[in-house]
């Protein structure tokens, strides 16, 4: 079973879009759907915002997923609301999932960070480094839910920066996955193997949609990371990273691919099909590289006389919250021979049309010496 792209547009949640997604929107979504959803307040953030969970289905396979543990990583939140809509529509495929699985979804685990558009929570703690200490109320909430729900699978949902490419190729890592390690040797337990098989299932589907744009995240072990810590407790856990799709800084395209990936993983679990996917194929997914700039200006010696022939300027955007919207503010990240790097937008100053276009860009004042 697969969900067509047409079907996706019929269930896409229209009340959320763009990068700035806050708890109030989740509360509105819940209010709008309160007759059909089982909702709980599972705790409160440092600043007292309610953390909500949505439970669906009645099957024996229990799946826990949480999004926006990093407050400025909202793409997967949009995708899980789409996924709730999909399940709520009770199509035959949705009913099959609901009969086989019980899903517990936390749309925003870090509502204070979401409000402030920061990775960290209101005490400036990275919740994904707090799995052992659990010094923060949000970390306690997640662990309490984990302990009481006793999931068979966990989906840890995030965003990644625009710098990531796939392997050494010029393809952006639009989606990346990780089957987190459970020990420093990065050994493959049965649990970790299951995470890998589910990633293979999702990768197979995504390769049809965005060929070459799926990467594998670094698997260095860190027990303070939530994914690693749940994997240590023998629950197959998958890290999802939403990344850049060309010209999609609002991450609406990526949202759609994440939706399809989540559906694929859940359907694979619901249909009891995990063993049809080869664990070894996981390692065929290229690792993420860090070879992208948002803007790469080649032969920049034309506009900056201090540079040597053939040098480039790499520009990255900083995401800044302004008037309730995320603005992308350019800054120079690197200058020099940037051989082997790529740009989501590239200008070659030896090309007159490029130079003309470059001079009209808002960041031109910044890069010209
Ligand atoms: Zn993250």
In order along its 369 residues, the chain shows pLDDT tens digits of: 567 777 899 999 999 999 999 999 999 999 999 999 999 999 999 999 999 999 999 999 999 999 999 999 999 999 999 999 999 998 899 999 999 999 999 999 999 999 999 999 999 999 999 999 999 999 999 999 999 999 999 999 999 999 999 999 999 999 999 999 999 999 999 999 999 999 999 999 999 999 999 999 989 999 999 999 999 999 999 999 999 999 999 999 999 999 999 999 999 999 999 999 999 999 999 999 999 999 999 999 999 999 999 999 999 999 999 999 999 999 999 999 999 999 999 999 999 999 999 999 988 988 876
87 Cα–ligand 1 center, Å: 25
Give 351 Cα–ligand 1 centroid separation in angstroms: 38
Residue 196 alpha carbon to ligand 1 centre in Å:
20
Question: Cα(35) to centroid of ligand 1, in Å?
Answer: 32
What is the 148 CA–ligand 1 centroid distance (Å)?
24
Sign of the CA dihedral running 106, 239, 113, 12: negative
C-alpha 102 to ligand 1 mean position (Å): 25
How far away, in angstroms, is 223 Cα from ligand 1 center?
Answer: 16
60 CA to centre of ligand 1 in angstroms: 29
| 105 Cα to the center of ligand 1, angstroms | 17
Beta bridge partners of 318: 329
Quote the tokens at residue 364. 């031109």
Ligand 1 centre and the CA of 11: distance in Å?
26
Distance 308 CA to ligand 1 centre (A): 38
Instruction: Please give the distance, rounded to the nearest whole angstrom, from the Cα atom of residue 156 to the centre of ligand 1.
Output: 9
Q: What rounded mean pLDDT belongs to the chain?
A: 96
Query: What proportion of the chain, given as a percentage, has pLDDT over 70?
Result: 99
Q: Cα of 303 to ligand 1 centre, how many Å?
A: 37
3-state secondary structure the chain: CCCCHHHHHHHCCCCCCCCCCCHHHHHHHHHHCCCCCEEEEEEECCCCCEEEEEEECCCCEEEEEEECCCCCCCHHHHHHHHHHHHHHCCCHHHHHHHHHEEEEEECCCCHHHHHHCCCCCCCCCCHHHCCCCCCCHHHHHHHHHHHHHCCCEEEEEEECCCCCEECCCCCECCEEEECCCCCCCCCCCHHHHHHHHHHHHHHHHHHHHCCCCEEECCCCCCCCCHHHHHHHCCCCEEEEEECCCCCCCCCHHHHHHHHHHHHHHHHHHHCCCHHHCCHHHHHHCCEEECCEEEEEEECHHHCCCCCCCCCEEEEEEEEEEECCEEEEEEEEEEEECCCCCEEEEEEECCCHHHHHHHHCCCCHHHHCC
* Contact assessment for residue 59 and residue 102, using Cβ atoms and an 8 Å cutoff: yes
Please write down the HEC assignment for all residues of 293-345: EEEEEECHHHCCCCCCCCCEEEEEEEEEEECCEEEEEEEEEEEECCCCCEEEE
pLDDT at 1: 53
Cα end-to-end span (Å), the chain: 56
Cα 125 to averaged position of ligand 1 atoms, centre (Å): 13
- In the reported structure, the alpha carbon of residue 108 is separated from the centroid of ligand 1 by a whole-number distance in angstroms of 12
* Ligand 1: centre distance to CA 81 (Å): 18
**Burial tier of 182 (Cβ tally within 10 Å: 0-12, 13-18, 19+):** buried
User: From ligand 1's centre to the CA of 217, what distance in Å?
Assistant: 12
307 alpha carbon – ligand 1 mean position (Å)? 36
Q: How far apart are CA 254 and CA 151, in angstroms?
A: 26
Task: Please state the pTM of the whole predicted model.
Answer: 0.97
Q: How far is CA 298 from CA 23, 311, 352, 355, in A?
A: 42, 6, 12, 10
Q: How far is the CA of 174 from the centre of ligand 1 (A)?
A: 15
CA of 326 from ligand 1 middle (Å) equals 17
| Short-list 157, 160, 140, CA closest to 215 | 160
- Find, among 170, 125, 162, the residue nearest to 326 by Cα: 162
């Amino acid at each position: 079973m697969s969900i067509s792209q047409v079907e996706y547009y019929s269930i896409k949640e229209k009340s959320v879009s763009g990068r700035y997604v806050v708890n109030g929107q989740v509360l509105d979504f819940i209010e709008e759907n309160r007759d059909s959803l089982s909702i709980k307040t599972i705790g409160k953030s440092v600043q007292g915002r309610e953390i909500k969970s949505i439970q669906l289905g009645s099957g024996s396979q229990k799946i826990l997923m949480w999004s926006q543990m990093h407050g400025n990583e909202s793409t997967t939140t949009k995708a899980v609301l789409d996924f709730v809509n999909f399940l709520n529509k009770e199509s035959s495929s949705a009913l099959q999932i609901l009969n086989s699985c019980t899903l517990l979804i936390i749309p925003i685990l870090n509502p204070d960070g979401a409000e402030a558009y920061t990775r960290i929570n209101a005490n400036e703690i990275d919740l994904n480094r707090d799995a052992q200490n659990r010094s923060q109320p949000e970390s306690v909430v997640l662990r309490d839910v984990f302990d009481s729900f006793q999931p068979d699978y966990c989906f840890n949902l995030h965003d990644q920066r625009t710098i990531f490419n796939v392997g050494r190729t010029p393809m952006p890592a639009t989606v990346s996955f990780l089957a987190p390690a459970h020990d420093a040797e990065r050994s493959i337990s049965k649990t970790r193997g299951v995470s890998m098989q589910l990633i293979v299932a999702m990768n197979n589907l995504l390769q049809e949609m965005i060929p070459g744009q799926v990467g594998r995240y670094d698997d260095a072990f860190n027990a303070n990371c939530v994914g690693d810590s749940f994997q240590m407790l023998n629950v197959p856990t998958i890290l999802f990273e939403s990344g850049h799709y060309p010209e999609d800084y609002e991450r609406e395209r990526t949202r759609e691919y994440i939706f399809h990936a989540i559906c694929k993983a859940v359907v694979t679990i619901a249909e009891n099909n995990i063993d049809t996917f080869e664990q070894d194929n996981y390692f065929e997914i290229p690792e993420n590289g860090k070879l992208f700039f948002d803007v790469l200006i080649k032969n920049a010696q034309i506009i900056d006389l201090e540079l040597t022939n053939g040098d480039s300027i790499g520009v990255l955007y900083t995401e800044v919250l302004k008037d309730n919207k995320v603005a992308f503010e350019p800054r120079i990240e690197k200058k020099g021979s940037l051989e082997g790097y790529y740009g989501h937008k590239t200008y070659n100053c030896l090309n007159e049309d490029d130079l003309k276009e470059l001079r009209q860009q808002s960041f031109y004042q910044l890069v010209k010496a």
